[in-house]
Chain A
Amino acid sequence: MPLTKEQIAQRIARELKDGYYVNLGIGIPTLVANYIPSGIKVVLQSENGLLGIGPFPDEGSEDPDLINAGKQTVTTVPGSAFFDSAMSFGMIRAGKVDLTVLGAMEVSERGDIANWKIPGKMVKGMGGAMDLVASAKNIIVAMMHTNPKGESKLLSHCTLPLTGTRCVKKIVTDLAVIDITENGFKLLERAPGISADEIRTKTEGKLAVEGEIPEMEF
């Protein structure tokens, strides 16, 4: 069975380490916050100017001055801090944020990412994505393995306009966990019941499969 979006988030949450500062993008990445392993403390950074994002507020206590980068109402946690947008991207550019999780339309076998523009369609803008991918120490992409047409999103070369080059380190899809190495994609884990052959078929870029590939457990 392919993973649900929640399971993709759950699998990515296992990459978190105690003390990490983490920036979570919009969509599946946001769900990672729901699966932070017990015993681990991470601080979530929101590029609009908040360190220490708390849960969504209770109904009736929404505060219009307190939102995340997806413009959703949020809360703070003990130890939170507010700052301006330049300082926020200073944290990102200077490598203070340990892990960035974001979605993508395409990833190439050398770690290029495309996630902001489809030529000929309305372009909404890159927001903070280009700054994040240009500077983050560790970038994990959360996405479906194929697009709605069934075409692979893991390519030898991206076809869409790039957001950044040679920056993605790991990809978690509904089918697999894949590392990006000097030699391209490398299969690390399979979704339960999904064969390495199926993953290979649905990966357009070069995919290394070495030995027995373990199944993810949930």
Chain B
Amino acid sequence: MSKVVLDADEAISNIKDGDVLMLGGFGLCGIPENCIAAMVKKGIRDLTCISNNAGVDDFGIGLMLKKRQVRKMISSYVGENAEFERQLLSGELEVELIPQGTLATRCLASGYGIPAIYTPAGAGTEVADQKEIRNFNGKEYLLEYAFQADYALVKAWKGDTAGNLVYRETARNFNPLMAMAGRITIAEVEQLVPAGELDPDFIHTPGIFVHKIFQGRGYEKRIEQRTVRRSS
């Protein structure tokens, strides 16, 4: 059975209202642009989105927020988005803010088949409220549960027809963790190559974790903070 699908529309065809999604990326770097565009077009609603950030007003998850498709965001940092702020303050959108390392490790636990982890992040703060606390070697740790996501939407640089993925530079970020964690994982790639072309020694995500893969199109790869060296 081939994992290769034609495009984002086909890849997301089974995602339905109310599903829990993981979306890879840090800021706008390494986000699944094609899948987001397809979900905006299809108008799937009531989604819970687990993603480090929530995009900007007119790009990334911000596009789904604008069309009110997201019921709940689980993120570590959600600045740079005025529409997000409006929906949050009006109560239309539920938001759970969690430490970035906790977010990453809850993805990792899910992908490794571990139900929960202990982390010191947030001990002694309001993040610890209602959480089980355990003392190891004189230090407090919080019990944090592995995420359960219906779909993980990830973006890789290269992928092959067996579903193996390779990421580029800091566009890797949450993508390999989420790829392992999704009940169904959809990967969009800049370059889809035949199985055998990627060196097995340099695969970041083995194909077993990837259920659908497609050649992405028209990547904008928007830069959030363009910063250059001052010319002297």
Contacts and interface: CB of A to CB of B under 8 A. Distances in A.
B206 interface: no
A125 to B, nearest CB: 4
B128 to A, nearest CB: 10
Interface string A117-156: 0000011111111110011000000000000000000000
- Dominant secondary structure at the A interface: loop
B84 to A, nearest CB: 9
A42 interface: no
A164 interface: yes
Interface residues of A, number: 49
A85 B228 contact: no
A67 B29 contact: yes
Contact of B101 (A46, A49, A92): A92
Contacts of A164: 123-125
A93 B27 CA distance: 22
Given A49-B26, A64-B29, A85 B177 contact: yes
Interface stretch (B2-10, B42-50, B192-200, B218-226): B218-226
Nearest to A123: B97
Contacts of A74: 227
B99, B175, B221, B229 pick with most chain A CB within 10 angstroms: B99
B121 A86 contact: no
B132 interface: no
A84 B173 contact: yes
Contacts of A217: none
Contacts of A82: 167, 169-170, 172
Interface in A64-87: 64-67, 70-74, 82-86
A89 interface: yes
A86 B104 contact: yes
B227 A72 contact: yes
Contacts of B69: none
B105 A124 contact: no
B221 A65 contact: yes
9 contacts: A50-B170, A56-B229, A84-B204, A85-B104, A88-B101, A130-B125, A161-B126, A162-B124, A164-B125
Interface of A: 46-50, 55-59, 62-67, 70-74, 82-86, 88-89, 92-93, 112, 122-131, 134-135, 161-166
Given A58-B231, A65-B168, A134-B121, 16 more contacts: A48-B26, A48-B29, A58-B228, A65-B169, A66-B169, A70-B225, A72-B225, A84-B174, A84-B175, A86-B107, A88-B104, A124-B77, A125-B97, A126-B99, A128-B76, A128-B100
